[in-house]
Amino acid sequence: MRHLLSTEDLSLHDAIRILDTAEEMAAVGEREVKKLPALRGRTVVNLFFEDSTRTRISFEAAAKRLSADVINFAAKGSSVSKGESLKDTAQTLAAMGADAVVIRHWASGAPHRLAATDWIDAAVINAGDGTHEHPTQALLDAFTMRRHWSKLAGTPSAGADLKGMRVAIAGDVLHSRVARSNVWLLRTLGAEVTLVAPPTLLPIGVDKWPCAVSFDLDETLAQGVDAMMMLRVQAERMNASFFPTTREYSRRWGFDDNRLRALDSLGLKDTIIMHPGPMNRGLEISAAAADSPRSTVLAQVRNGVSIRMAALYLLLSGENREPAAAPVSASASHAANPNLTYSHQESH
Amino acid sequence: MVLTRVVLNQADIDRALTRIAHEILEANKGSQDLVLLGIPRRGYPLAVRLAAKIAAADPTVDAAAIVGQLDVTMFRDDLSHQPTRPPYPTQLPRTGIDNKVVVLIDDVLYSGRTIRAALDAIIDLGRPRIVRLAVLIDRGHRELPIRADHVGKNLPTSSSEKVRVRLEETDSVDGAPDGAPVNEVVIEATA
């Protein structure tokens, strides 16, 4: 793994590896010294072209727990507002010696552009691009589900996938990068996903996604759900009439008190309620549902730090990154016989 | 061509561990405050075996309650020179390690860098009263001022040779029938 750009092309092996590593990272948060020296001397740049609190803070906490140096770059108040291009920004960061760039951008595909060009020789982590993908959010959601799922099964979560878990994702799928990343990752992990949304908030071509689509939340709940994920109604992207009123949306698509009670009457005592945050209480999720014991909202935030530590560690440690200015002969011999150079199975 | 030579067989390993278990008890003047921390992968099964032997010698000891696993991956000084290593779990005994006598256990002591990393890892987890080191094989070639308190066998080697410890908990012999136990230490030399 060189970059973490999307969950669509993430293999099952890599996904499980990130989740398992995050499991060990989570243990660090419970220790006396909540810090590991693994990324000492590495620089992580948080490059945020779009507002974000929790994702940026989560990445910052993750990098700092691994002893990396963190530079926060917000487009507001920077040279970007003077018209600097992504290329120039990237080359500036490269000149400062960034080892990893965590990028959030309003344009879908911006992280791919950064990773595919030679503007900067750093690991690129997609922290949300437009309405495309948000892979670390999907990974932390999967991590939260896997812990719940293996606790129910009474098995250790390390190495496990999500085979047989029924996940419903409800709300604004059209604008949601969280929904896209989740659909692809959960498919890879073997869960059954159902998207629930008003037809106006579903993207064109959703019928080709590896998931079921429903227009009726109550019907989906009645069929049985193990994890119910509510998506945020993105007021900043509501530039057309997607639904008549917020009141109607809340009644038909929101997780309100009636639906919370319905979970009990349907016998779904182990169903968890998830939300990527920030929540619009009273719109897509009621306060009672958000604060109920079923809610995993705070666990998701906690797990987010572990997942991001795992991603940073797996991308930044190790010599799988080609040295930029290695002499030709040295890199040729290492390409010819990688086993000779790196056979450290036994290093004492 | 790779020449392999068996230097310890199953019975040799068992005898060495029995002696180390008694040495640990002797050095500690009993079993009080003992905690055995094995370093993954092969240090941990050795720690479990040692704990069982200590419990056999001293019936007041609960073997499962004194043994733990200490992962040192994140504390290594060669992280950026090697392929990415996924971390193993760190599991401490319920009693913790504060004011305990911690015995680190690994299979082979070579450069000493793993033990340096382990000492750093321990300090982040608590403050033991004493830290000791027990290894099955000491093959020399130290790069740091570190020595073992208890050694199963001192094995003079050339640095071009490889010392392989195979334990039934972690390894199986290539080509052997599935589940065939292996407990031996071999030296591999390229001729």
Report ipTM for this prediction: 0.84
Per residue in B49-66, pLDDT tens?
Answer: 999 999 999 999 999 999
Find the mean pLDDT for residues A229-251. 86
Contact B124 A32 (CB under 8 A): yes
Contact A317 B80 (CB under 8 A): yes
pLDDT at A179: 96
A324 near B CB under 8 A: no
Predicted confidence (pLDDT) at residue B25 exceeds the cutoff of 80: yes
Contact A314 B120 (CB under 8 A): no
CA count, 13 A, side-chain hemisphere, A31: 22
Contact A24 B108 (CB under 8 A): no
For residue A314, with 0-12 CB atoms within 10 Å meaning exposed, 13-18 middle and 19 or more buried, which class applies? buried
A69 near B CB under 8 A: no
Residue type, B174: D
pLDDT at A320: 52
Question: Looking at per-residue confidence, does A59 or A338 come out higher?
Answer: A59
Rg (CA), chain A: 21
pLDDT at B19: 98
For residue A146, with 0-12 CB atoms within 10 Å meaning exposed, 13-18 middle and 19 or more buried, which class applies? buried
CB A201, CB A249: distance < 8 Å = no
Find the mean pLDDT for residues A53-57. 91
Q: Which residue has the tokens 């309650």?
A: B65
Per residue in A58-72, pLDDT tens?
Answer: 999 999 999 999 999
Length of chain B equals 191
Among A142, A101, A110, CA closest to A129: A110
Confidence label for B173 from pLDDT (cuts 50, 70 and 90): low
Predicted confidence (pLDDT) at residue A247 exceeds the cutoff of 60: yes
B124 near A CB under 8 A: yes
- Contacts of B39-43 with C-beta under 8 Å, sequence gap 24+, read B39/B69, B39/B70, B39/B71, B39/B72, B39/B104, B39/B105, B39/B106, B39/B114, B39/B118, B40/B69, B40/B71, B40/B88, B41/B88, B41/B170, B42/B106, B42/B107, B42/B165, B42/B167, B42/B170, B43/B104, B43/B105, B43/B106, B43/B107
Which range among A98-107, A118-127, A338-347 shows the weakest confidence by mean pLDDT?
A338-347
Cis-peptide into A278, omega within 30 deg: yes
Q: How far is B136 from chain A (nearest CA, A)?
A: 12
CB B136, CB B46: distance < 8 Å = yes
Nearest chain B residue to A344 by CA distance is B82
Q: Return the H-helix or E-strand segment holding A43.
A: strand A43-48
Measured CA to CA, the distance from residue A169 to residue A184 in angstroms comes to 13
A318 near B CB under 8 A: yes
- Structure tokens given for A168: 């419903």
- Structure tokens given for A318: 């190790």
Write the Ramachandran bin of A282: left for phi over 0, alpha for psi from -120 to 50, otherwise beta.
left
Query: A213 has which bridge partners?
Result: A195
Q: Using DSSP bridges, classify how beta strands B162-166 and B184-190 pair: parallel, antiparallel or unpaired.
A: antiparallel
Per-residue exposure over B118-152, b if at least 16 CB sit within 10 Å of its own CB, e if not: bebbbebbbebeebbbbbbbbbeeeeeebebbbbb
Measure Cα distances from A257 to A292, A294, A299, A300 in Å.
10, 13, 21, 22
Per residue in A189-212, pLDDT tens?
Answer: 999 999 999 999 999 999 999 999
Predicted confidence (pLDDT) at residue B147 exceeds the cutoff of 90: yes
Share of chain A above pLDDT 70, in %: 91
A342 near B CB under 8 A: yes
CB A185, CB A159: distance < 8 Å = no
Nearest chain A residue to B143 by CA distance is A348
B157 near A CB under 8 A: no
3-state helix, strand, coil split of chain B in percent (to 5) is 30, 25, 45
- Taking contacts as CB-CB distances below 8 angstroms, the residues of chain B near A37 are 74-75, 120
Q: What sign for the dihedral angle of Cα A218, A223, A228, A232?
A: negative
Find the mean pLDDT for residues A245-270. 93
Find the mean pLDDT for residues B35-61. 96
pLDDT at A327: 36
pLDDT at A342: 37
Per residue in A143-198, pLDDT tens?
Answer: 999 999 999 999 999 999 999 999 999 999 999 999 999 999 999 999 999 999 99
Of B74, B82, B126, the CB nearest to A318: B82
- Spell out the residues 6+ positions from residue A105 whose beta carbon is closer than 8 angstroms to its own: A49, A50, A86, A111, A128, A129, A130
Measure Cα distances from A105 to A41, A113, A128, A129, A133 in Å.
26, 11, 7, 5, 11
B88 near A CB under 8 A: yes
- Spell out the residues 6+ positions from residue A235 whose beta carbon is closer than 8 angstroms to its own: A280
pLDDT at A126: 97
Per residue in B7-21, pLDDT tens?
Answer: 999 999 999 999 999
Predicted confidence (pLDDT) at residue A315 exceeds the cutoff of 50: yes
Find the mean pLDDT for residues A304-329. 73
DSSP B94: T
Contact B120 A24 (CB under 8 A): no
Per residue in A87-119, pLDDT tens?
Answer: 999 999 999 899 999 999 999 999 999 999 999
Measure Cα distances from A194 to A91, A173, A206, B97 in Å.
42, 11, 11, 48
The mean predicted confidence, pLDDT, of chain B is 92
Predicted confidence (pLDDT) at residue B165 exceeds the cutoff of 60: yes
Confidence label for A343 from pLDDT (cuts 50, 70 and 90): very low
Predicted confidence (pLDDT) at residue A335 exceeds the cutoff of 90: no
CB B117, CB B76: distance < 8 Å = yes
CB A146, CB A162: distance < 8 Å = yes
Per residue in A5-48, pLDDT tens?
Answer: 999 999 999 999 999 999 999 998 888 888 999 999 999 999 99
pLDDT at A250: 92
SS (H, E, C) A137-206: HHHHHHHHHHHHHHHHHCCCCCCCCCCCCEEEEECCCCCCHHHHHHHHHHHHHCCEEEEECCHHHCCCCH
Q: How far is B87 from chain A (nearest CA, A)?
A: 6
Per residue in A258-292, pLDDT tens?
Answer: 999 999 999 999 999 999 989 999 999 999 999 99
